[in-house]
Each structure stands twice: as structure tokens, then as C-alpha cells.
Amino acid sequence: MSIPRFTPRQAVGNRLKARGETFEDMRVGKKVLLTWTEKWAEELASTLGATPAPRTMFIDTFWLRTVDTPEGGITVAFAPIGAPGTIMLMEDLIACGAESFVGVGASGGLNPNHPVGDVLIPNTVKILDEGTSVHYPDQGDPTGDQEMIKTLSGLIEKYGGRTTTGDWWTTDGFYREMTDDIALHMENGILGIDMETSAMYRVAQHRGVSACNILVVSDELWIEWNYGIDFSEFKTGVTAMQQAAIEWAQS
């Protein structure tokens, strides 16, 4: 039987050793809010009162901040964009005790009924166009945690956001979202597109942890590219998404 040459825990342990630290120095909460936008990470950490925690990586760019709670703590993680870097960090955090993940990010929208500012929740990833998931055992289409999807949907609506859940597309090729592929996937009912969800859901299934991504529509892809990060609707959606993520983390 083929097995990995080294495990995430071994890798983290060696990085810590090189810095004169141990696992006892790590402060990783059972709940993780993982985002790819540093400004959002700073806002989430500030609202939660999270303070800097030791990094699992050598690079300074990506960081962790944690707040202790009676339920096991909450970590805000500023993560690398794309499936490979995100999964490296996610695996590290699982090795340090993380049990559930909410990805707080942005997405391209493929459904005209859900324009810029709506918060989409990937349910099942039907289109896997990234290369990380295939390195994990195939357990069928990567699917988010159903209880988390239900809870987060209700919280987004509570805070005034428009939301829905549905089938998803994850890709490595940010600049290769081709018009014919978009048309085909729209016809097949795909709700949106990002760069991390399929791998996050596959790893969660493999490691026995929970994951659900909440992704505000930043750009519309169904006719002409409509990039909306300066729209008021986008800012409203971001606020609702962040408030929902914070309440989930504190519950």
C-alpha cells in the first residue's frame, strides 16, 4: 500500500523545531475562519479579539490570529489563494487541532438570479478543474457540511444578505474561465466558480472535519464580465457574510 512519505504533523513539527517552538506553543482553535483577503482577515480577527498566533509556515505573508473560548478557540487564517496553498495550510491546521472550517471569500457568479453582492454557498462541487483534489481518496463529488450550510444560510439572511446554495465549479485557471465552458456549466445549473472549494471539501471529507464556504459574488460571468467589487451591493454582501461567519464562530 502506498502511503505519504511524511504527514502534515511531521512537517509542522519540523518547521516549529527550526524556530525553537513546539506544538505546545501553537494556538489553533477548533473553529477556523479562513479567508484569502487580508483586509477581511484583519476585520474578522479584530471583531473577535483574536491575537497573533505562531505560523505553521516559514513565510511571513500568511498568518494566524486566535482567540481562546470555552468551546476550544477560534482561529482566523489569512490563506494563500488557490487550492494547493490553501490545502497545505488547512492540513497544517487540522494537524494542530482544527475541527471545522468556514471559507470567507469571493466568487464568480454564473446565475443571473444571483448578481454581485449575493452570498453563494457551494453545496456539491460538480466541476473539479483543480489539481489538488485528485491526490486525495475519491469519495464522490466534494460536498460541504450540510448542517453548516443550513446554519450559515440562516445567519446570512439574518444579517440582510441574499443567499442560496447549489452546485459548484472550482478551477486553477483564473484567466482561463472560457466562454464556452461558462455557457455549458450554466446550462447544467452550476451556481458559481472559485479556486479552492473542491479541494477544501475533499480534504475535509478525507480528514473527518467539517467545511463550508460562503462566497460573495464579486463578478458576473453570464454575458459580459461585470466586475463589481466597488458596487454598494458587494459591500453589503461582504458585511452580511462577515457577520454570519462571526456569529457561527462564536456560537
Per-residue tens of pLDDT for the chain, all 251 residues: 789 999 999 999 999 999 999 999 999 999 999 999 999 999 999 999 999 999 998 888 999 999 999 999 999 999 999 999 999 999 999 999 999 999 999 999 999 999 999 999 999 999 999 999 999 998 899 999 999 999 999 999 999 999 999 999 999 999 999 999 999 999 999 999 999 999 999 999 999 999 999 999 999 999 899 999 999 999 999 999 999 999 999 99
State the pLDDT at residue 60.
Answer: 85
Q: By CB neighbour count within 10 A (0-12 exposed, 13-18 middle, 19+ buried), where does 195 fall?
A: buried
Distance CA 134, CA 157 (A): 34
CB 104 within 8 A of CB 44: yes
Distances (CA, A) of 172 to 82, 97, 131, 143, 214: 7, 28, 7, 18, 19
How many H-runs (helices) and E-runs (strands) does the chain carry?
A: 7, 10
Q: Which of 95, 53, 35 is nearest to 249 (CA)?
A: 35
State the pLDDT at residue 172.
Answer: 97
Q: Does the model's pTM come out above 0.85?
A: yes
What is the distance, to the nearest Å, from the Cα of residue 129 to the centroid of all Cα atoms in its chain?
17
